[in-house]
Structure 1
Amino acid sequence: MSKQSELRSLLETIFVVVGSFVGAIIIITLATSKPEPADTSTMVVENEPMEANVQPVAVVKVAEKSDMKKNSSVISGEKIAQANCVLCHGSGMMNSPKIGDSAQWEPRIAQGKETLISHAINGIRTMPAKGGNASLSDEEVGAAVIWMANQSGGSL
């Protein structure tokens, strides 16, 4: 082989290598660059605060103890009994007197209002104190006892 053909072959190889690098740089530059929008006046950007996008699904409001005391006169003995006492006293569970059964309530009513309320507040036999709801006030328990007793033939 002649020196001229060797030189030509070497130059062709150099041009191919350099051309490949230049071509790769051009392709990478075009692929990663952002094209400018033709009309920037139509582009709308909304900047909303992040708090608007990150809101809880629900909010729980817990009543304060003072709010419960203010509303205790509004809550009737019936509502308290329906929410707390009817589970056992509605079905007679664990030998509890059923609401409305005067035969079961008669001996209890005969003990007197204070005794009935005391038993309900402090618990008696299988009944836990305040029917198992320690958040009830003594007045609320008393209202529920009076309502149940009156529904069962008493007049407290």
Structure 2
Amino acid sequence: MSEHRAPRAAKRSLRFALPAVAVVSAAVLAGCGQQAQVDEEVTAAAILPVAKVEVVMQKVAAGARTGEEVYKAVCTTCHASGVLGAPTTGDAGQWAPRLGKGLDALNASVINGLGAMPPRGGGSDLTDAEVLRATVYLANTAGAGFPEPAQD
């Protein structure tokens, strides 16, 4: 007779365990739908870049740039590497025929453009004085010895 009671006891404990498991499972699944609170300051700090780059625009008064400043901002793009047949900065051999024409002719070529070089070397905001200073600077790197024009 003890064999007959054992299956009944197992069924009875299973009858109470199944509803308990169902209730616990429902409670766990109900919590899954809730979204966690996000601290936006912590998130922002976590995704900050390693370094920051700040670009500051500095306006220079028209006509106040030196020949070197104009060269570095406008002329170096082509003349540093000789792009499109531009005479290379400091190469006396390439500059000799141009320097032989004189400063006025050289400066007129820069102002009006020559070959692939656009007028004013592409620096449309350059004044005539700035173009002259840049021309003198660039020519002097090839040994011209032109006097540096005065700053306004």
Give the Cα separation in 2 of the matches to 1:78 and 1:61: 19
**Contact 1:109 1:116 (8 Å CA) reproduced:** yes
CA positional deviation for 1:117 = 0.4
CA positional deviation for 1:79 = 1.2
The two structures have a TM-score, normalised by structure 1, of 0.55
**125, 131, 134: which one pairs with 2:121?**
131
**90, 98, 103: which one pairs with 1:108?**
98
**Contact 1:106 1:153 (8 Å CA) reproduced:** no
Q: Note the residue ranges of structure 1 that are not aligned, 5 or more in a row.
A: 1-57
C-alpha RMSD of matched pairs (Å): 2.1
**83, 90, 115: which one pairs with 2:80?**
90
2:69 paired with 1:79: yes
CA positional deviation for 1:105 = 0.4
Say which SS state the counterpart of residue 68 (structure 1) adopts: coil
The aligned residue for residue 145 of structure 1 is 135
**Contact 1:120 1:131 (8 Å CA) reproduced:** yes
User: Percent same amino acid among aligned pairs?
Assistant: 36
Structure 1 pair 61–87 and aligned structure 2 pair: CA distance change class (3 A): closer
Say which SS state the counterpart of residue 94 (structure 2) adopts: helix
CA positional deviation for 1:153 = 1.4
The two structures have a TM-score, normalised by structure 2, of 0.56
Structure 1 pair 89–61 and aligned structure 2 pair: CA distance change class (3 A): closer
Structure 1 pair 63–98 and aligned structure 2 pair: CA distance change class (3 A): same
Structure 1 pair 91–68 and aligned structure 2 pair: CA distance change class (3 A): same
Say which SS state the counterpart of residue 87 (structure 1) adopts: helix
CA positional deviation for 1:76 = 1.7
**Contact 2:90 2:143 (8 Å CA) reproduced:** yes
Runs of 4+ in 1 over 3 A off after TM superposition: 60-64
Which protein shows a greater Rg?
Answer: 1
